[in-house]
C-alpha cells in the first residue's frame, strides 16, 4: 500500500528539485558563457589578424611609395652611356676628360638647378625624415657606362684599471708612445692607421644596413679576417679571406639546410684585390658556379702607377715608414721584373668572367686611387708614355679584358662614375681620400647605387 507524502515531504522534495534545477542551469550557463567567451576570443583573433594585415598592406604601400619617390628623385641625377668592346679598355677616347666635361656641363646647366629646386618628393614624410636639412641643396651625379651582350689599431676604450690604452708610433724614427685618444702622433704627425690600408668591418655598416632593409631575404656577412692586418701581402690576406668565406658558406648551408643559389661579393679599395685573389683558392672552387655579382668600389686593380705626383710621393712615404709589402705590390715594386709582380700576374687571368655581373665604381675626384686603375682603363698619357712601365700597364689592361671580349663570355659589365657636388674642404679632400671613402658614408650615393643594381638581386621566377 503506497504511503502518502506529508506536507513536509513535499517541501523537502521541492527544495531538492530546485537545487538540482539550479545546478543544472548553473552548469548550462557556465558552458554557454565559456562558449561565448571562446567565440569572442576567436573574433578578437580574427579582427587582430585583419587589422594586422591591413596595417601590413598600408606599410607596404607606404614603403613602395617611398621607394618610388626616392627612385624618381635619384633617377634625375643618373646619366647612362653604352660601351662598345673597345671602350672597355679606354683606348678610343680620354675617359677622364670626357667625364669631367660632362659632369661640369650638367652641374652648371639650368636643368640641374631646376631639378634641385623642384619639390620632387611631394608629401612623402619618410623621404623628408630620411634626408638631412639642406641636403636638397646638392646631390651627387652618377654616370653609368654599360657593356653587355644582349696590428696598430687604436682602441679608445679604457683598460681594466680604468686608464686609457696606449699605442706606439709606427714611425721607427719616432716610436713615441701616445694615448689612445690621440689620432696622430704629435711629434711626427704619423697616423697609426695609414689611409686606405686600414680596414674595419664597421666601414661597411651603412651598405650592409641598406642591403638588409631592401632585400630581407639576403644574407649579408662582413668579413673580419683582414681587420688590422693590411700591412701584409695580398696573398696572405687572400688566404685568410678564402678560409673565412668557406667557413661562412659551410655554416650557412648547415643552418638553412638549403642549397646555395647565388653568391655575390662587394669589395672596397684593396679589399676588392684581396677578393680577386681569394677566388683562386681551392677552398672556393666548389662555389664558383654560384658566383653572381662582383661589385668593386674604388679599387686599385692596376695598382697606383701613373698616379698624381702627390699620391706617388705619398705611396713612397708609406712604403718607407711602414715597410709594407702591400704598398710594394700596389706600386708594382714587389719584383725587379714588373712582369713578375703580383698585380701583373693577376691581370693575366682575372677570374671574373665566371660572374654574371661585374660592376666597377669610381670617381675622378678620387685621387687617392688613380681613376684609370679603378676602371681598369688606359688614358692618352699612358698611351704616349715611353718605357717599360707604360708597356707593362698596357699589357695588363689588354690581358684583363681579353676574357670578357670572348664570344662565350656572358658577363654584364657596368662602370659607375660618381661626381660629388659638395665636398667639404679638408686634408682628406685635398688628397682625394674623401671621394675615395664617400661610397661607404654617403647614403644618397649608396641608395642610388642599390637602385641601379636591382637586376642583380631580383629573384628568378
Q: What is the pLDDT of residues 433-459, one digit of tens each?
A: 677 788 888 888 888 888 888 888 876
Number of neighbours of residue 116 by Cβ within 10 angstroms: 15
| pLDDT for 357 | 93
Look at the domain 80-108+140-151+196-456 and name its fold.
Answer: Rossmann fold (3.40.50)
Q: What distance in Å separates the CA atoms of residue 70 and residue 66, rounded to the nearest whole number?
A: 6
- Local confidence band at 423 (pLDDT 50, 70, 90 cut-offs): low
| pLDDT for 342 | 92
Distance of CA 36 to the CA centre of its chain: 55
Domain ranges of the chain: 80-108+140-151+196-456, 154-192
99's grid cell: 667625364
Q: What distance in Å separates the CA atoms of residue 345 and residue 87, rounded to the nearest whole number?
A: 23
| pLDDT for 380 | 86
Return the percentage of the chain with pLDDT > 70, whole number: 68
79's grid cell: 646619366
| pLDDT for 205 | 83
304-345 pLDDT, tens digit per residue, is 888 754 454 445 444 444 546 888 888 888 889 999 999 999
Provide the mean pLDDT of the chain.
75
Q: What distance in Å separates the CA atoms of residue 205 and residue 77, rounded to the nearest whole number?
A: 25
Average pLDDT over residues 401-414: 87
Q: What distance in Å separates the CA atoms of residue 60 and residue 6, rounded to the nearest whole number?
A: 80
Who contacts 360 (Cβ-Cβ below 8 Å, separation ≥6)? 296, 299, 374, 375, 376, 413, 414, 415, 416
| Residues 72-83: b if buried by 16+ CB within 10 A, e if exposed | ebbeebbeeeeb
- Local confidence band at 195 (pLDDT 50, 70, 90 cut-offs): very low
| Residues 255-277: b if buried by 16+ CB within 10 A, e if exposed | eeeeeeeebbbbbbbbbbbbbbb
- Local confidence band at 429 (pLDDT 50, 70, 90 cut-offs): low
Average pLDDT over residues 85-100: 76
Q: What distance in Å separates the CA atoms of residue 58 and residue 62, rounded to the nearest whole number?
A: 6
Q: What distance in Å separates the CA atoms of residue 136 and residue 421, rounded to the nearest whole number?
A: 11
Amino acid at each position: 500500500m503506497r504511503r502518502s507524502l506529508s506536507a513536509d515531504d513535499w517541501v523537502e522534495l521541492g527544495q531538492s528539485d530546485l537545487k538540482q534545477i539550479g545546478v543544472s542551469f548553473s552548469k548550462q550557463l557556465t558552458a554557454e558563457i565559456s562558449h561565448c567567451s571562446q567565440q569572442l576570443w576567436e573574433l578578437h583573433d580574427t579582427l587582430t589578424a585583419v587589422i594586422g594585415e591591413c596595417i601590413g598592406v598600408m606599410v607596404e604601400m607606404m614603403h613602395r611609395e617611398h621607394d618610388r619617390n626616392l627612385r624618381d628623385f635619384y633617377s634625375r641625377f643618373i646619366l647612362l652611356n653604352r660601351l662598345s668592346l673597345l671602350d672597355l679598355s679606354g683606348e678610343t677616347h680620354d675617359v677622364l676628360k670626357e667625364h669631367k666635361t660632362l659632369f661640369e656641363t650638367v652641374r652648371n646647366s639650368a636643368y640641374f638647378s631646376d631639378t634641385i629646386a623642384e619639390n620632387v618628393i611631394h608629401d612623402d614624410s619618410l623621404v623628408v625624415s630620411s634626408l638631412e636639412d639642406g641636403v636638397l641643396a646638392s646631390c651627387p651625379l652618377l654616370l653609368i657606362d654599360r657593356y653587355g651582350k644582349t696590428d696598430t689599431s687604436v682602441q679608445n676604450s679604457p683598460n681594466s684599471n680604468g686608464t686609457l690604452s696606449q699605442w706606439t708610433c709606427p714611425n721607427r724614427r719616432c716610436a713615441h708612445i701616445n694615448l689612445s685618444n690621440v689620432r696622430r702622433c704629435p711629434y711626427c704627425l704619423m697616423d697609426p692607421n695609414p689611409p686606405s690600408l686600414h680596414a674595419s668591418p664597421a666601414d661597411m655598416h651603412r651598405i650592409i644596413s641598406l642591403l638588409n632593409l631592401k632585400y630581407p631575404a639576403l644574407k649579408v656577412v662582413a668579413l673580419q679576417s683582414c681587420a688590422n692586418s693590411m700591412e701584409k701581402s695580398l696573398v696572405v690576406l687572400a688566404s685568410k679571406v678564402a678560409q673565412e668565406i668557406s667557413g661562412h658558406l659551410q655554416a650557412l648551408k648547415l643552418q638553412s639546410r638549403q642549397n646555395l643559389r647565388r653568391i655575390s661579393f662587394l669589395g672596397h679599395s684593396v679589399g676588392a684585390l684581396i677578393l680577386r685573389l681569394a677566388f683562386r683558392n681551392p677552398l672556393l672552387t666548389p662555389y664558383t658556379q654560384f658566383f653572381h655579382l662582383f661589385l668593386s668600389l674604388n679599387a686599385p686593380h692596376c695598382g697606383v702607377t701613373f698616379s698624381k705626383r702627390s699620391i706617388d710621393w705619398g705611396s713612397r712615404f708609406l712604403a718607407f715608414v711602414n715597410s709594407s709589402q702591400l704598398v710594394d705590390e700596389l706600386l708594382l715594386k714587389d719584383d725587379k721584373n714588373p712582369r713578375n709582380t703580383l698585380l701583373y700576374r693577376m691581370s693575366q687571368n682575372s677570374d671574373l668572367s665566371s660572374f654574371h655581373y661585374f660592376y666597377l665604381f669610381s670617381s675622378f675626384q678620387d685621387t687617392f686611387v688613380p681613376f684609370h686603375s679603378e676602371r681598369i682603363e688606359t688614358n692618352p698619357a699612358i698611351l704616349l708614355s715611353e718605357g717599360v712601365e707604360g708597356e707593362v700597364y698596357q699589357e695588363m689592361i689588354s690581358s684583363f679584358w681579353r676574357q670578357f671580349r670572348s664570344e662565350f663570355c656572358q658577363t654584364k659589365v657596368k662602370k659607375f662614375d660618381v661626381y660629388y657636388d659638395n665636398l667639404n674642404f679638408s686634408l682628406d679632400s685635398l688628397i682625394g681620400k674623401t671621394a675615395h671613402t664617400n661610397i661607404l658614408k654617403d647614403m644618397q650615393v649608396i641608395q642610388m647605387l642599390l637602385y641601379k643594381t636591382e637586376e642583380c638581386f631580383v629573384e628568378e621566377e
